[in-house]
Amino acid sequence: MAETLQNLHPELYKKDVEEARQGEAYAPFEGDPNAYSKKFYIESYGCQMNFSDSEIVASILHEEGFGATRNFEEADLVLLNTCSIREKAEQTVRNRLQTFRKQKEGNPGMLIGVLGCMAERLKAKFLEEEKLVDIVVGPDAYRSLPGLISEAEGGQKSVNVLLSREETYADIAPVRLDSNGVTAFVSIMRGCNNMCSFCVVPFTRGRERSRDAESIVHECEDLFSRGYREVTLLGQNVDSYYYSPSAGGGLEGAVTFAMLLEKVALISPLLRVRFSTSHPKDITDDVLHTMAKYHNICKYIHLPVQSGNTRILQLMNRTYTREWYLAKVKRIREIMPDCGLSTDVISGFCTETEEEHQDTLSVMELSRFDMAYMFSYSERPGTLAARRYEDDIPEEVKKRRLIEIINLQNSHSRESYTADIGKTFEVLIEGDSKRSDLHWYGRNSQNKVVVFPKDDRPLQKGDYATVQIKNATSATLMGEMVPA
């Protein structure tokens, strides 16, 4: 799939790669580098939740005397935080492990560990069959890392992939990895109760549990006090966030996602609030009205549709219909006409007919997404779909349908971005443009990238600028600063 995407649409391919692999995540040394007796290196793959988990791991390792490094060649401990969502992601991780094993041949004391979803799913293969790693740790077992490292240093293969119904890491202050100092992820819940038939997450991350609201607000307050100006609240399905301080889970003192959004927005009007990801069956009018009420809650929702055909949605166990999804899109735009909307789309799910594929294209036409993550179906071992259905759509058909989806979304993205020419947006400056340090880079409330030239105004990262859009591509807005 990625090769097809790369050849057809380099810009979308680049987005796909950046999303699939967050890159070489590292934390700069704080204070005296010699304060750390050992060095660790960590790479994160997959979703934003994995990147957030890596920051928790970094905090645990710092407490154990490990400082971070950019170079795996000098690390005492090399970690890959992995993703099982697609076969390509797993193959990328295997290739990286081979590279690390070669490095270990010249440095026998180096330890190699696998974290995250692949750790949970492929622990036996990694430890016994392929002998690629020394440590395997699942998403709920990061607190056990110090003990596992000690065991591995003694020559034992160490593993802990036990899932938990309670673990939220609420008391651990994450070390912000490779941070721009402006934006940060804040995990509000873990696991997932939605048994989508194509998805491994319920099996690799366990049941859904919400972090206590007070600790979330405290973390966001701390980030704001340290100069951060945007937080993204993370969960597999943030709309089902529900925290009750009472043991019985009663209503007294309970906090819903809409209430949590408001609590974080009230920290300061200068702190932007985003969230990801929403499930069409769970996002409520309360959430939408809260978003509309507060200027600093960004007007952007990622609302995965996956398919535009009700029969396929039922096979996927998405628990909504085509009509339900379209009604939800309509409701979002009734309450927030300026809301940005993105989605996920899967081509070639089991038994999908040509007519059902056309239904997906028509939902895209009706919804007019600003952006989408688009994939052909990749069967994942252990999922409900792998057990129940035959992966019977030929690869060439999957790819052809994917190309049609990509082409349609490209045209919608171009229309969406072009329609912003002449409009004025408040943009949070995240840093210099990648192409030129004479330009600022940031995003507007709708999550669109905005690039604009610097002038003699004394602005810096974390400041807000008012920008009028002068030009656009299908992925970037270009403008000039104007008086607020």
Q: What is the mean pLDDT of residues 105-125?
A: 83
Round to whole Å and give the CA distance between 316 and 470. Answer: 42
Q: What is the mean pLDDT of residues 112-131?
A: 76
Residue 336's SS3 state is: coil
**At 343, which helix (H) or strand (E)?**
strand 340-347
Round to whole Å and give the CA distance between 280 and 482. Answer: 38
Tens of pLDDT, residues 334-345: 999 999 999 999
Round to whole Å and give the CA distance between 103 and 97. Answer: 10
Tens of pLDDT, residues 153-211: 988 888 898 888 888 888 888 888 878 999 999 999 999 999 999 998 888 888 899 99
Domain ranges of the chain: 19-160, 183-417, 424-481
CATH of range 19-160; options 3.40.50.12280, 3.40.50.12160, 3.40.50.150, 1.20.120.80: 3.40.50.12160
183-417 domain in CATH 2.60.40.1170? no
Q: For position 48, what pLDDT does the model report?
A: 81
Confidence of residue 91 (pLDDT cuts 50, 70, 90): confident
Q: How many helices (H) and strands (E) does the chain have?
A: 16, 22
CB 104 within 8 A of CB 145: no
CB 47 within 8 A of CB 84: no
Residue 422: CB atoms within 10 A of its CB come to: 9
Min mean pLDDT across 136-145, 174-183, 281-290 is at 174-183
Q: Which CATH architecture has domain 424-481?
A: Beta Barrel (2.40)
- Could you tell me which residues come within 8 angstroms of residue 190 by beta carbon, excluding any fewer than 6 positions away? 139, 140, 167, 168, 169, 205, 206, 208, 209, 211, 235, 236
Q: For position 247, what pLDDT does the model report?
A: 55
* Cα 407 from chain centroid (whole Å): 24
Round to whole Å and give the CA distance between 168 and 187. Answer: 8
Kind of pairing between the strands at 300-302 and 476-481: unpaired
